[in-house]
Amino acid sequence: MKSQYGAYFFKDKVVWITGASSGIGKSLASAFCKVGAKVIISARNIDNLNKVKNECLPSESIKVLPIDLEEINKAEDVTKRAISCFGKIDILINNAGISQRGMAVDTGVEIDKRIINTNLLGTIALTKAVLPNMIAQESGQIVTISSVLGKFGAPTRTAYSASKHGLHGFFDSLRAEIYKHNINITMLCPGYIKTNISLNALDKDGKPHNKLDEGQANGISTEEFAKRAIAAIYKKKNEAYIGGIECGGIYLKRFFPRIFAWVIRRVKIN
Ligand SMILES: NC(=O)c1ccc[n+]([C@@H]2O[C@H](COP(=O)([O-])OP(=O)(O)OC[C@H]3O[C@@H](n4cnc5c(N)ncnc54)[C@H](OP(=O)(O)O)[C@@H]3O)[C@@H](O)[C@H]2O)c1
């Protein structure tokens, strides 16, 4: 990996990954350890975080830091603890998120609020807590895992898509503000990736959907996602789309919006 992405580019860089107890975050943690980074892994489930830590080598390069992104007022405190792990944060990877399976008309606003608090406000709060330290060190990179649904909307995902679109508004604005401090913003938009995201997605009553949907079952592996994500992070891309044919929806909407609107109301989404 070092020859592919520059000699030792990530060596000893401190990378803080949220949502690292499973799926994409877990594979990113493992991939960053392999390229010599020091990694802090966060999520709510401490047992799963410890399992990820035990699978990553060398074990002294990885620290577990529990976090619940819905607890927005704890972002500054948890950031201080993250910095104390290795003395700094070079790359923050905002990956934690929760999806949705429910029609807007049936879904209570409380469910919308949970999704938007986790995916959008929690991510904003953590980013704002990390920023002053990156500004002081005059370097850093903030990577946010959005979705193709951060670029277009789809049935049964209204709050989820709103939260992901919101991330683009926030981070595109922030990119312009902090360019002068040598801090880069990278937005990664996955298509279908083979993870438990659909099992953990909230239904109209706020209960887990508990099904592995066809899209995720046939999606690309988290290892392939991590490989392509690391390449985009190394290149400091502003935005990258990582997945299969579903990523084409972004271009269809951009260049043929009326055709896209026709397609998206017919396509079977899951
Ligand atoms: N898989 C896909 O097809 C796909 C497509 C587009 C975008 N994405 C995005 O990719 C990211 C990772 O998802 P994934 O596919 O890897 O699904 P996943 O396996 O369900 O992982 C989600 C991660 O987020 C954490 N999380 C959820 N709520 C949290 C909270 N309140 N506070 C802290 N951590 C929380 C979960 O850990 P705990 O439960 O331990 O807290 C878990 O580690 C998400 O942002 C998702 O929207 C995925």
Strand boundaries in 53-139, DSSP class E: 62-64, 91-94, 100-101
Where does the pLDDT of residue 4 fall: very low under 50, low under 70, confident under 90, or very high at 90 and above?
Answer: low
Nearest CA, atom 43, ligand 1: 19
The residue-averaged pLDDT of 19-42 equals: 97
Are the C-beta atoms of residues 166 and 187 closer than 8 Å to each other? no
Report yes or no on whether pTM surpasses 0.85.
yes
pLDDT of residue 267: 81
* Rounded distance from Cα 7 to ligand 1 centre (Å): 31
pLDDT of residue 253: 98
What residues does 144 pair with on adjacent strands? Answer: 94, 187
Residues 6+ apart with CB under 8 A from 43: 18, 19, 20, 21, 22, 25, 49, 66, 67, 96
The residue-averaged pLDDT of 9-16 equals: 96
The residue-averaged pLDDT of 123-152 equals: 98
Tell me the pLDDT tens digit for each residue of 215-252: 999 999 999 999 999 999 999 999 999 999 999 999 99
Are the C-beta atoms of residues 201 and 208 closer than 8 Å to each other? yes
Q: Would you say the CB of residue 243 lies under 6 angstroms from ligand 1?
A: no
Average pLDDT, the chain: 96
Domains contained in the chain, CATH given: 14-264 (3.40.50.720)
User: Ligand 1 test: best mutation among 113, 163, 193, 213, most atoms within 8 Å of CB?
Assistant: 193
User: Ligand 1 test: best mutation among 100, 195, 216, 220, most atoms within 8 Å of CB?
Assistant: 195
Q: Which residues are catalytic?
A: 160
* Rounded distance from Cα 167 to ligand 1 centre (Å): 15
First to last CA, the chain: 34
Where does the pLDDT of residue 268 fall: very low under 50, low under 70, confident under 90, or very high at 90 and above?
Answer: confident
The residue-averaged pLDDT of 68-72 equals: 97
